[in-house]
Amino acid sequence: DVKVTQSSRYLVKRTGEKVFLECVQDMDHENMFWYRQDPGLGLRLIYFSYDVKMKEKGDIPEGYSVSREKKERFSLILESASTNQTSMYLCASIARGRLYGYTFGSGTRLTVV
């Protein structure tokens, strides 16, 4: 069964900490995405990557960075965590050229205190 795996289901971090969220997919997909999901706001795109070492800003990149050193792994980095980054973070992937059918991970619930 194809999978997108997010390394942590729940995380609690302190304000100012550097936080790494990891995502690994086993489908050889070129495109990978990081979203955050908040009540009343839906899914908002933070960053996406369409190839190794390539990245593009989404709609809300401020306070975040990403790393894609290998095709299967896409990392989201919170440089200095703040309480307004408390959210559900979802990783997704899709093959290049497809316009429907993301595969999502189960999400990481991050709380910043």
Partner 1 sequence: QKEVEQDPGPLSVPEGAIVSLNCTYSNSAFQYFMWYRQYSRKGPELLMYTYSSGNKEDGRFTAQVDKSSKYISLFIRDSQPSDSATYLCAMSGKETSGSRLTFGEGTQLTVNP
Q: Which residues bind partner 1 (CB under 8 A)?
A: 4, 9, 31, 33, 35, 40-43, 45, 48, 50, 56, 58, 90, 92, 94, 96-102, 104-107
**Of residues 47 and 85, the one with the C-beta less far from partner 1:** 47
> ∠ CA 90-94-100 to the nearest 5 degrees?
95
User: In whole angstroms, how close is the CB of 106 to partner 1 at the nearest point?
Assistant: 5
Q: How many residues does the chain have?
A: 113
User: In whole angstroms, how close is the CB of 16 to partner 1 at the nearest point?
Assistant: 28
Do the beta carbons of residue 24 and residue 10 sit within 8 Å? no
**Of residues 2 and 18, the one with the C-beta less far from partner 1:** 2
User: In whole angstroms, how close is the CB of 84 to partner 1 at the nearest point?
Assistant: 18
**Of residues 81 and 91, the one with the C-beta less far from partner 1:** 91
**Of residues 3 and 18, the one with the C-beta less far from partner 1:** 3
User: In whole angstroms, how close is the CB of 15 to partner 1 at the nearest point?
Assistant: 25
